[in-house]
Structure 1
Amino acid sequence: MWIDSIAFDEMLGEARRAYPLETGGVLAGYIAGNGDPVVQHLIGPGPNAQHIRQRFHPDHDWQCRKLDEIFEMSSGQTVYLGDWHTHPDGSPHMSWLDKRTLRGIARHRDSAVARPIMMIGAGGVERWTWQVHRYSGDRMVGLSISIDVLELRPFGHEDV
């Protein structure tokens, strides 16, 4: 997965600001011709988000408005790709709730993304480790969720 370095810095700043509580948001961009997700914009948790130690609830209405603005400004080229959140002092691996959430996003018709991504940051104020997960389907009639781990590749505007 490619991510704009400015968006990545915003995400890191939000993770540090919220620590030791969880935070997160939305990833917006496009799918490249080779199938790689390209994140151009980050949407934060929103002003009415609720942050606790091991979970956070985003300000969903605010995030949807921001996503609509980005979609309109890009003439429909920039779309919802998935979500991001933090696991303070934890691991960047997916919890059972993360997997269930990712499957729910893939099945939600309004998300319009069959293979959503979930980026998880783990760490603390000084050091964060990020891992990108992409939903790839269900196995055994939905009893097991298949997830791919993607390489994270930041890019700057000079790389475009």
Structure 2
Amino acid sequence: MSLVWISESVMRELCTEADRAYPLETGGVLAGYVADNGEPVVRAVVGPGPEAVHNRHRFTPDHAWQCRQLDILFSESSGASTYVGDWHTHPDGLPQMSWLDRRTLRSIARHRDAGVARPLMLIGGGSIGEWDWVGHRYRGARLFGLLSESDEVETRTF
């Protein structure tokens, strides 16, 4: 099993936003870099955005706002911090990928502007103060590109 490294401050931000939105889904984007050994390192997080739509079993981000925030992170880090994936919650659920999560991860991997061939999807399952975070990293597509495969990755904080 491979790893994803997440700063402790990012993990606190994820849990704070998950608690705030509970019992509705929330999410955002992950920024950082991919280390020389191929493991993603998450150093910053962008939340859902002011125009995001939160529902019990679905979340639609404020994409334009998130892109502007990523541009700021990129600029402030002199290009060291870029998009590495998305994150969202499954309130009162498990941090497992749904069919929609798999489709979204495949779309991200195919989107040229995302700039990441193996994007990460971090999912938090649980409830207020009790979130379990599991990373899923895109591996590829199969069956004529209709299905996607991902690897579960262990999360470690630094």
TM over 0.5: same fold? yes
In the TM superposition, what is the alpha-carbon distance from 1:47 to its structure 2 partner?
A: 1.1
TM-score in terms of structure 1 length: 0.95
Structure 2, unmatched stretches of 5+, are none
Number of aligned residue pairs: give it: 155
In the alignment, the residues of structure 2 paired with residue 36 and residue 109 of structure 1 have an alpha-carbon distance, to the nearest angstrom, of: 20
Q: What is the percentage of aligned positions where both structures have the same residue?
A: 61
Q: What are the within-5 Å matches in structure 2 for residues 27-66 of structure 1?
A: 27-66=30-69
In the alignment, the residues of structure 2 paired with residue 113 and residue 101 of structure 1 have an alpha-carbon distance, to the nearest angstrom, of: 14
Is the contact made by 2:15 and 2:129 (CA closer than 8 Å) also made in structure 1? no
In the alignment, the residues of structure 2 paired with residue 129 and residue 11 of structure 1 have an alpha-carbon distance, to the nearest angstrom, of: 11
**3-state secondary structure, aligned to 1:152:** strand
The one of 25, 29, 35 equivalent to 1:26 is 29
Is the contact made by 2:5 and 2:42 (CA closer than 8 Å) also made in structure 1? yes
TM-score in terms of structure 2 length: 0.96
Aligned partner of 2:43: which letter?
A: Q
Structure 1 outlier segments of 4+, above 6 Å: none
In the TM superposition, what is the alpha-carbon distance from 1:144 to its structure 2 partner?
A: 2.7
In the TM superposition, what is the alpha-carbon distance from 1:126 to its structure 2 partner?
A: 2.8
CA RMSD, Structure 1 to Structure 2 (Å): 0.7
Aligned partner of 1:55: which letter?
A: R
**3-state secondary structure, aligned to 1:151:** strand
